[in-house]
Amino acid sequence: MNILVGADDKYIKPCATTLLSLKKTSRTPNNIYFMMWEGSEISNDNIKIIKNSLKKDDTFNIIKLPYIEQIKCIDCGRFGASILMRVVALFFLPTNIDKILYIDSDIIFKKNIIDFYNNNENCVYAIREKNAFADKLCFQYGITDNFYINSGFVLFNLNLIRKIYTRDSYFKKIEILSKYKFVNPDQDLLNILFINKKGTPTNPNYIHLTNYKLIKNKGKIYGIHYILKPKPWELEYKNIKLGLLYWKFAKHIFGAKECFMHYKIFFLHIFEAIKHRFTN
């Protein structure tokens, strides 16, 4: 599989945790493309953390992206400009790649996702968000297909994208769209750029978009996307079941001290829940 990820120094360990879970669930070698902005620096130690989370026969490639003029006026707010790398990268990847799977750094995998990757639909393939907020955004941005995808786990059909846009027309379109005050800049952009070219799996269990809901039919779910704050590597995170699932992989990346702190907090929450149950 061709896999696209990106992180700054702050997100290196979460990114490595995601890749480790991919390693544990994949049966074949992956081609990893790691994005960073030109001129930005990621330490050799942090690159080593990423590489150590991969299979021995995986390939690792660094893609340095220009911070182009067309995106400089997009207000990314609390997210930071790094979220736009997935949008920019589509026209800076090797031209011999026909598709690539972008994965956010707050996802872990429980099962092999090769069936998702092998989908041959002629579209940008992702998990559709069906809720009132997504409907509102479709109306706000004139997304006429009323189809709003989450940008954290996206299979980009690059052959299709190159037929729709040239590099110049793609970034010209982004320049025109930059007038909007986006709620989710990367996600909103992708949904507008690929109107009527989006698809979603019929199997709802590929990636579970959640932070706090308990997981039903746990054995059927392919992965968990921790979409809200706090994230499971942050001490404020309180969901015990989803937190323990995350730290099954993260303990190999973050080290014993951070792992101990999180397990201590989880068990304190369990103790408080039991205490509350028997005193009320």
pLDDT for 219 equals 56
3-state SS of 140-204 is: HHCCCCCCCEEEEEEEEEHHHHHHHCCHHHHHHHHHHHCCCCCCCHHHHHHHHHCCCCEECCCCC
pLDDT at 177: 94
Half-sphere exposure of 205 (CA within 13 A, CB side): 12
Distance between CA 79 and CA 276 in Å, rounded? Answer: 37
| Bridge partners, residue 63, by sequence | 35
151 alpha carbon, distance to own chain's centre: 7
Question: What is the pLDDT averaged over residues 120-148?
Answer: 92
Alpha carbons 85 and 87: distance in angstroms, whole number: 5
Tokens of 245: 């699932």
Average pLDDT in the chain: 90
Tell me what pLDDT residue 276 has: 62
Residues 6 or more apart whose CB falls under 8 angstroms from that of 144 comprise: 195, 196
Higher pLDDT, 257 or 18: 18
56: Cα separation from own chain's centroid: 23
Nearest to 127 by CA among 194, 209, 219, 4: 209
Q: Which residue has the higher pLDDT, 270 or 216?
A: 270
- pLDDT at residue 241, as a whole number: 83
- pLDDT computed for residue 217 by the predictor: 54
Whether the model pTM is above 0.95: no
